[in-house]
Amino acid sequence: MKLQQLKYLLAIVDNGLNITAAAERLYTSQPGVSKQLKLLEEELGLQLFTRKGKSLGGITPAGQQVIARARVVMQEVDNIRSLASDYFHEEEGTLSIATTHTQARYVLPEVIKEFRSRYPKVSLELHQGTSEQIADMVSANEIDFAIATGSRDLFSDLLLVPSYHWDRKILVPKNHELTRLERKVTLDDLAEYPLVTYVFSFGGQSSLKLAFAEKGLDPDVVFTARDADVIKTYVRMGLGVGIVASMAEDCDDRKDLEAIEAEGLFPRSTTWIGFRRDAVLRRYMLDFIQLFAPHISTEQLECTRHARNQGDIDELFDETALPLRTGCSDDMTAAA
């Protein structure tokens, strides 16, 4: 058995069982790929693919298992290479991050700015998507880091490092009635107004939806959007009261919007950064984690590097002691 045979095998699978396409992707000749597959099947003594005439028809059950193992092998081989370049070219490499809009727009810019200045030679890829899309990217193995909030069960194959908590803010146009309340805003107050918030906040068993439901309230959600910028636009138009992540309040917004802290109204959210269990964490990746979640000590980070399952991580970090991230008002203090 050769590494090349496993590589060819995976290429065939990843190119829709088309050997010709696989060969092109591998910059080699098609008969070569064909032959190596045949050799591999002969050595293992089993068919990895079913044949439709001469073409490959499908994957046999045995093939499925072999392919899964082969992926692990190639993954680890890549890890070895990665390890090696970490020692040799500490400052070079790539870092691909998949995350949601809120993180990409309001949290990561600072982090990435700092990271880029420290590692100018590392090429960064930022992929934005919903939690589900991020999960897909993760399983397609294209991603070094996933950053998201909640939905831990979507990412059971990653190790998740809790990074910070955040609350919601209520956004209203200047001089809105809600800003003139003498007391704290309650859910009942909110339910009086048309609401504008995130799409996913009202799909599934979202915490926002639940918070209202628990009080027996049925709020009037007039508009849902995928990101806070759109929500703000509609709040400015007077379409309704916005509920957004605290981080989503820009200082610029203060010109025409007012933000009301919704601390305590809704359950607190936890944003985490996750990576594949068996990935090699290069120096610059560890530094990225620390930039993103500065409360993590260097020792914790070192332990994280060798953690093998989520339990190890959970022991390491006290969920309740995470920093709280807010928007414009006190970004600086939160970062300190």
Residues in contact with a second copy by the rule CB under 8 A: 1-3, 44-46, 62, 65-66, 69-70, 72-73, 76-77, 79-81, 83-85, 87-88, 278, 280, 309-311
100 binds, among a second copy, DNA, none (CB under 5 to 8 A by kind): none
Least gap, CB of 81 to DNA (angstroms): 17
88 binds, among a second copy, DNA, none (CB under 5 to 8 A by kind): a second copy
Least gap, CB of 87 to a second copy (angstroms): 5
278 binds, among a second copy, DNA, none (CB under 5 to 8 A by kind): a second copy
137 binds, among a second copy, DNA, none (CB under 5 to 8 A by kind): none
* Helix (H), strand (E) at residue 181: none
50 binds, among a second copy, DNA, none (CB under 5 to 8 A by kind): none
The length of the chain in residues reads 336
Task: Choose between 65 and 207: whose C-beta lies nearer to a second copy.
Answer: 65
Least gap, CB of 277 to a second copy (angstroms): 9
User: Residue numbers of the site for DNA (CB under 7 A)?
Assistant: 2, 4, 17-20, 27-32, 34-39, 51-56
Parallel, antiparallel, or unpaired for β 194-198 and 241-245? parallel
Say if CB 319 and CB 162 are below 8 A apart.
yes
Nearest to 269 by CA among 326, 329, 187: 326
Least gap, CB of 11 to DNA (angstroms): 12
Task: Choose between 41 and 249: whose C-beta lies nearer to a second copy.
Answer: 41
Show the tokens assigned to 36.
């190596």
d(CA 29, CA 311): 47
Task: Choose between 19 and 231: whose C-beta lies nearer to DNA.
Answer: 19
Show the tokens assigned to 182.
């003498």
Least gap, CB of 46 to DNA (angstroms): 15
Least gap, CB of 68 to DNA (angstroms): 21
Task: Choose between 80 and 336: whose C-beta lies nearer to a second copy.
Answer: 80
Q: Which residues contact 281 (CB under 8 A, 6 or more apart)?
A: 275, 289, 304, 305
State the burial class of residue 251 (Cβ atoms within 10 Å of its Cβ: 0-12, 13-18, 19+): exposed
31 binds, among a second copy, DNA, none (CB under 5 to 8 A by kind): DNA
Backbone angles phi, psi at 163, to 5 degrees: -115, -45
* Helix (H), strand (E) at residue 276: strand 269-276
CA 58-62-65 angle, to 5 degrees, is 100
